[in-house]
Structure 1
């Protein structure tokens, strides 16, 4: 009999009886009017709010008649779960939401039913602003900002200013009035009017405008009566995070006679950067019939953490501040401040401390690491901790939709389907991505099977993609997987060519591979990354359904461009997010809604935390606020940074560990002043932690004992037994280096052997490096400097072909420069300045060059027999010139180092160019009777006014050093043995760590 698995709904864990103290009972009691509950960290403000809701229900109300407002969707979800748990049973109409969600519900339920509108997400708002900006004449803006008005940064700052205007309850005329004689902000006021008009026409509202119009709606007598009849109470959590228009909406509800309970702690206000008003709590307390209740007992923090927080809060603004909590916990707790040698040492010690905490009895989910910034800083921490065997949980909410891995993968496939010839080089990435499912080894194996003489594996894959039957002929699973994806891309491309919408094209790509089932299984198994991927993809499909007008190939490319241009995270949080099981990595803002037994606040340095240097944008949202001078001052910014540090530290219930790297050459900022404000003497720790507490480190220690001839037989036997029983892949003998047999010696050499200048140079310098990078798939890809070199070569080619002047060359540079990726903005600016210098030197040299230009980027082939083996010299020369009767090759170089005189004399690339010219590779361009002249390297980064030019002596008529190099290369290829050779270039080799020439007999 076949058994059938059935879903069984488990009863939720019953809520325990919550014991309230006197102040909490006073706050919870059913009341009329406005009640403001103030309390420090851990005093039970959220508990008061949930219990007040429950008490109101016990008094005869129902959850659908109560409105609970939280500061974020995540906080609203947490409150909803807790209220339902305390209430017991199921609730369908629960109004637990954000202020914007409540405003949206009011507009739809009580507003004009004939007035349809759509709520814009933050990325949609910015895209709409860019569209409006693109349609404005240049004279709309003052002369000094016209160049910036078309940039993304300007659009982002403009969106922030308009949002702040509505948060402050300002209309366009009032913005112009505040602007005074500042032309820029007067133009902002005019743009504000245009923005509202266009939004009305399209029925689109942003969040701030939504709340503003809800306040206007409440002024209608019928709407006010409906609110009084519909609602029995308003409950606001974290009221200190309300911006001005939001707290005025709450005040409007209180004036209607609705009971309002608001919990707050002004010293934990984190949203100042997005308009959270410092006067929100004071304004609510100043309303008629408002009462104040203070919570004085701290239930979260240990005495040590409470004392540190009390010292820190003494430097915070005391306006409307709650009293210092009195801790009830008896265990003393721990607070430490530690300074390490550098950021790497700080991360290493952090990993050791986290693992030590688990050995002391903590669970991974009891631990949290809090940073000032998210993004790259958290990604780096996650990589380091994961590499050391520590499970981590990272929120994906801060990343824009286009930055999500799953979204990028699906959009890359859509781009390839829409424009296969332009995106064909992305095929290997698609095959090894989630849609293809191959790993790097499988891809290399497939590429080798497809290789033909004179081609590389990438070219072979692209050829097979154009003719999938070649993949079918191979008959293995790897080839079948590649063939399925290639045919799927072709199918979607055909659908787009016939005009299908973007949503259908995305669905065909998604449903046509095993990826959905893999993600589903991973999500059901509790994989947090899979759940985040699914959330992001749901958001992508949701956006595609709202852009049904985008059809065909052009529509697909437009959709991709819009997603990639989004720089703001859309809301992809789902209600049933998995509970974390690893160490939480998050920012102070994300940490506010959580509590952990042990919290590590890291990288607390000046310039980072606090970020004390005020760098206002061209448009500053604080300019519209009444207290904009205070908010924008250094003191105001430091105060905001101190509040975020205070919140981060307050999340620790038992132990708080604050750390920072000490200043050095690469990290000059000293530890932050905040470290000393905790009242704890900092401890300096030098050097890395002693020993690594990871499975890999344990295996290494056991292997070291096992292989040490000085170890006793008993000790070696014990190590061997533990390795045999240890359930880790690194403990298996079959995975140890040297335990496997060498690979097959079979080696098939192409006929003819294709040799380029760069491959000859690589084979001569180090055959091992050449093989690993060219045939072993170990090439790490082209870095930023290589890409900059490509840009320079492209512009130099265009300048020579189209006779561009310097201004036109720089304009071309500015067109392509945004496509380059640099780790830091200052690096991009610095490199661009250097490239402008390169182009300036090249322009002068090209203008005054006495030679006659025969061609640029000239391909060549020349046949030659070397040691009885047919050889085909192949390549492309940057410039081919005629100087009198001499044919001269010029190779453009953008490297920062130049070859020495000795290296130049036997420079392989220049030698190959000379030999190819002598063999007639350029006879179709050169007039009869020309002879080969001295080739040169044009060093574009070197030279004062014009580039420095390095010449190579002409090859002799007889046997030369180049013949020796070619024979050596052919012999290496014929033998199939690629030995390592030590040279000055080893310091830059990516395979140095495993090289027997550099580390003979060393640790691999």
Structure 2
């Protein structure tokens, strides 16, 4: 073992009292903590291993620290307590009362199931009831981080309201009355409007109610664990004294990420002995959220004025040039640094320049990176592939690189891969949904496209269209008649689904899921076995820890919420890889398949040459690699664009200093610094420059500062396209996954297969061609989503109300409106009773608005829901106009009712639907509407617009182009924000992880 340098020795050999160690990247901070544990055990009289507490943030880091201490100082060191903050606090809380921990996703699910009890108004979107739960949970977590209890926040709200009342009394002018936008609510703003006060009261109520619900259910959220432990120690002085006697020395790693609640926990534990050692680097603070990066250091200085400070500045990881670039980069954060003049000193030569490669596009970036890694390894320059890491800001940035690596046979491993987004797991989930929910046609379509059933895509298309034509689920169409052409596997599939359905009604899912996965051969495919095993383990944990019945219907509800909350099923650590257990012949579900198993995450075509590590920059924290590539250093990608939180904790309630300047930019720069300092020998930065993409401002700053360690380069020529990996077209004998996405995207419209376009179909294609294909080409049966169902109900009810008022003005009572709404209300289709009730209330309110507006200015009703068909742009256009009125002898207005988000003037001016309907009105009915109206039922506002000849010409051209693309079979997915509302996500290839 190398000797400690003077700085390290000073930290290790410090005696009693508080110690602050500012440890830059690669300066050996973990070694200092371990060596200090050994020094204390050998030099402090009477100190036992049990008297030392070491705290960090990640379970893996804690385990590594424990093992390294044992290797260095022997088995007794294992008796020292090395733990994460949350594990330590959970054990404290469990000693007084048994509790189950809720991670963020499970907390979301718990609150979603209890949504009605939260009594939300401002933070409830009826069409998407769980829409604001993430924001509310984040707000509650920030409260806990700052030791703001529900009572504290309630007191703050009451104080704000009193201040607003006093301001209103003392001011001759009325206070602000403008309505605050839900998206811009700021609890610490000076807005005194009634709506803002109501929002604050609702926040206080939700915080109190959610905490109460969790406490009564003996649950504690991950975000509340630290503050709950602090509260426990405050009301249990005997327990606190016991802990102080037990832990005479406390050491903390990654101190820069400590929040106020964690700091207060440390203050309480140290007590009078004050033997607290903290080690951290404010330049690597990437988890402090909104607090200043140096806040924890300032708090330490204020609470422990007698502290000793040691600065570790000698770097044992990177070359001089890498440190030069990293140092210049982080220097731009000078206003938000604990020590603005801090510099790392390299222990190694300057080394190679840090290269910045500027590419023409993402494909060229991926192709060059893959070939460069292959060249360096196969040419003997850089040893094995395991010496390389590729870092990126967002998971999607790796997709093209993965294809390129596969193309060149380069072994790789992806860290933090989402198992539930991988094709084999998505297939397995589709089987579960097809078994548990026979009316789920989307999942059954995915199952039918599984190559094991030998179904041709044309036959699946016929089944889907038959089901849609008969308005029945795909399962009924599959069972009700013989297939249009021979399909031998049909009976085997139906038999499997029926027998599994019987099994699901009687046995817990955890008892038979692994059997199903085995018999489907999902453990056999190279690389898929551990993914499926991780999912099976996830289900088993759900069965054992979170489930009431363990049955499939309960799991399907849980997993739907899990995915809506953004939950990800992760691979376990590699040393915990789940291997498929062998099965006895009697365990099988009846499908002939091989029992071969794969126990590695990824195939390694290079044998023992290792594999390239792919990971986000966040995932790379604490790691180091010989050669590092950083992708997509682009404006808007790294740094990302700033997103303000929907609900902010008031500045008055934050503990510690708040950041100065552009906090988001500074936090992103610290993350950039983390990426740079992962490299030991070489560092390659990748950017793109074209009409729509520009290099990151971080690179621009380094260039403008004339950093001597950077060298900009460009590849000699554009890279050829990267072909598909072929993962779905592997040689015979290897399992393939469901082909539903590729089939739909590749389908072309057959000759003579005529089609028409409606306004909604045209808009759907322009939004996402693959969604159009699933909806209108394949016609996969999908029950209407709640917003569409409500819209359909309201259109029918509004039609009846308007017709009645046109015949007998002013003759509709509230009871009559309720009766009309009841006649059109469906027996089912909404998410739950809360959504049903809220939509009923909204529906009645909207009908009352229609009644009032019609009564105030009745018009002559010409048409309602008038259907049309016309030829335009070489295509048949169809549709149905909601309403046409004659408002004056020579004036006609066309009205379209909207039940969802209120449409703006811009929406009306650009509406494809209104343009098409105006043309249809003219050509089919011989009427030229003077006014085109979007009637917002939610607000009663009528947004009027008109059309110019140029707008009709533009739409005709769009129709021609769209129809040509449809006839040509052009149906690529177009992922974006609206995907969250798409029914076809379970079968869309754009929402599968590239692997």
Instruction: Provide the TM-score with structure 1 as the length reference.
Output: 0.63
The Cα shift of 1:691 comes to 7.4
Does 1:218 pair with 2:233? yes
Does 1:203 pair with 2:218? yes
1:92-131 pair list within 5 angstroms: 95-108=81-94, 111-112=95-96, 115-131=97-113
Distance across 2 between alignment mates of 1:851 and 1:694 = 53
Does 1:330 pair with 2:349? yes
Distance across 2 between alignment mates of 1:634 and 1:64 = 45
Distance across 2 between alignment mates of 1:176 and 1:277 = 29
1:58-73 pair list within 5 angstroms: 65-73=51-59
Q: In structure 1, which of residues 403, 413, 421 is the aligned counterpart of residue 431 of structure 2?
A: 413
The Cα shift of 1:548 comes to 3.4
Contact 1:663/1:669 (8 A) holds in 2:
no
Q: 1:806 to 1:168 in 2, by over 3 A?
A: farther
Q: In structure 1, which of residues 227, 235, 249 is the aligned counterpart of residue 243 of structure 2?
A: 227
Contact 1:539/1:572 (8 A) holds in 2:
no
Q: Report the more deviating stretch, 592-601 or 621-630.
A: 621-630
Does 1:540 pair with 2:539? yes
Contact 2:430/2:444 (8 A) holds in 1:
no
Partner of 2:337: 318
Distance across 1 between alignment mates of 2:487 and 2:529 = 33
Partner of 1:485: 496
Partner of 1:444: 456
Contact 2:26/2:316 (8 A) holds in 1:
yes
Distance across 2 between alignment mates of 1:985 and 1:470 = 32
Q: In structure 1, which of residues 289, 293, 298 is the aligned counterpart of residue 315 of structure 2?
A: 298
The Cα shift of 1:294 comes to 1.5
1:920-999 pair list within 5 angstroms: 940=913, 942-943=915-916, 945=918, 947=920, 985=964, 989-990=968-969
Does 1:371 pair with 2:371? no
Larger Rg: 1
Partner of 1:917: none
Contact 2:435/2:497 (8 A) holds in 1:
no
Distance across 1 between alignment mates of 2:865 and 2:138 = 56
| SS across alignment from 2:20 | strand
Listed one character per residue, the Cα deviations across residues 179-208 of structure 1 (whole Å, up to 9, x for unaligned) are 524523343233322233222212111233
Q: Report the more deviating stretch, 787-796 or 115-124.
A: 787-796
Q: 1:150 to 1:328 in 2, by over 3 A?
A: same
Distance across 2 between alignment mates of 1:507 and 1:945 = 60
Partner of 1:591: 620
The Cα shift of 1:123 comes to 1.0
Listed one character per residue, the Cα deviations across residues 583-640 of structure 1 (whole Å, up to 9, x for unaligned) are 2222221111210111122222223323354x32331246465489954x76222111
| SS across alignment from 2:147 | coil
Listed one character per residue, the Cα deviations across residues 51-89 of structure 1 (whole Å, up to 9, x for unaligned) are 223444556866555333222223334334433443456
Q: 1:451 to 1:162 in 2, by over 3 A?
A: closer
Q: Report the more deviating stretch, 173-182 or 155-164.
A: 173-182
Distance across 1 between alignment mates of 2:326 and 2:254 = 19
Partner of 2:367: 348
The Cα shift of 1:38 comes to 1.4
Contact 2:118/2:206 (8 A) holds in 1:
no
The Cα shift of 1:329 comes to 1.1
Structure with the bigger RCO (C-alpha within 8 Å, sep 6+) is 2
Distance across 1 between alignment mates of 2:774 and 2:521 = 35
Distance across 2 between alignment mates of 1:195 and 1:104 = 19
The Cα shift of 1:241 comes to 0.8
Does 1:646 pair with 2:673? yes
| SS across alignment from 2:153 | helix
Q: 1:541 to 1:621 in 2, by over 3 A?
A: farther
The Cα shift of 1:238 comes to 0.7
Listed one character per residue, the Cα deviations across residues 879-927 of structure 1 (whole Å, up to 9, x for unaligned) are 6xxxxxxxxxx559xxxxx754xx56xx7999xxxxxxxxxxxxxxxxx
RMSD: 5.4
| SS across alignment from 1:540 | helix
Partner of 2:446: 429
The Cα shift of 1:248 comes to 1.9
Distance across 2 between alignment mates of 1:29 and 1:273 = 34
The Cα shift of 1:539 comes to 2.6
1:497-508 pair list within 5 angstroms: 504-508=508-512
The Cα shift of 1:127 comes to 2.5
Listed one character per residue, the Cα deviations across residues 359-392 of structure 1 (whole Å, up to 9, x for unaligned) are 32342222222222x2433445434543454333
Distance across 1 between alignment mates of 2:87 and 2:662 = 34
Distance across 1 between alignment mates of 2:407 and 2:775 = 26
1:282-293 pair list within 5 angstroms: 282-286=298-302, 287=304, 289-293=306-310
| SS across alignment from 1:782 | helix
Partner of 1:32: 16
| SS across alignment from 1:301 | coil
Listed one character per residue, the Cα deviations across residues 652-686 of structure 1 (whole Å, up to 9, x for unaligned) are 11111122211414779878545536825563626
Partner of 1:46: 30
Contact 1:247/1:280 (8 A) holds in 2:
yes
Listed one character per residue, the Cα deviations across residues 838-880 of structure 1 (whole Å, up to 9, x for unaligned) are xxxxxxxxx9777998xxxxxxxxxxxxxxxxxxxxxxxxx6x
Distance across 2 between alignment mates of 1:155 and 1:466 = 41
Listed one character per residue, the Cα deviations across residues 494-517 of structure 1 (whole Å, up to 9, x for unaligned) are 43xxxx6xxx13532332341698
Contact 2:434/2:440 (8 A) holds in 1:
yes
The Cα shift of 1:37 comes to 1.6
1:865-944 pair list within 5 angstroms: 900=873, 903=874, 940=913, 942-943=915-916
Does 1:271 pair with 2:300? no
Distance across 1 between alignment mates of 2:103 and 2:399 = 25
Contact 1:606/1:673 (8 A) holds in 2:
no
Partner of 1:307: 324
The Cα shift of 1:309 comes to 1.5
Partner of 1:190: 205
Q: 1:211 to 1:940 in 2, by over 3 A?
A: closer
Partner of 2:149: 171
Q: 1:630 to 1:64 in 2, by over 3 A?
A: closer
Partner of 1:390: 410
Partner of 1:607: 636
The aligned length equals 749
Contact 2:635/2:693 (8 A) holds in 1:
no
Q: 1:177 to 1:405 in 2, by over 3 A?
A: farther
The Cα shift of 1:318 comes to 3.4
Listed one character per residue, the Cα deviations across residues 281-336 of structure 1 (whole Å, up to 9, x for unaligned) are 22224415422222121110101101112212322233246842211113613302
Contact 1:161/1:621 (8 A) holds in 2:
yes
Distance across 1 between alignment mates of 2:119 and 2:728 = 65
Contact 1:164/1:274 (8 A) holds in 2:
no
Q: 1:801 to 1:622 in 2, by over 3 A?
A: closer
Q: 1:131 to 1:327 in 2, by over 3 A?
A: same
| SS across alignment from 1:272 | coil
Distance across 2 between alignment mates of 1:788 and 1:515 = 27
Partner of 1:655: 682
Listed one character per residue, the Cα deviations across residues 124-174 of structure 1 (whole Å, up to 9, x for unaligned) are 2223333454324456x5xxx665897534211111111111111112233
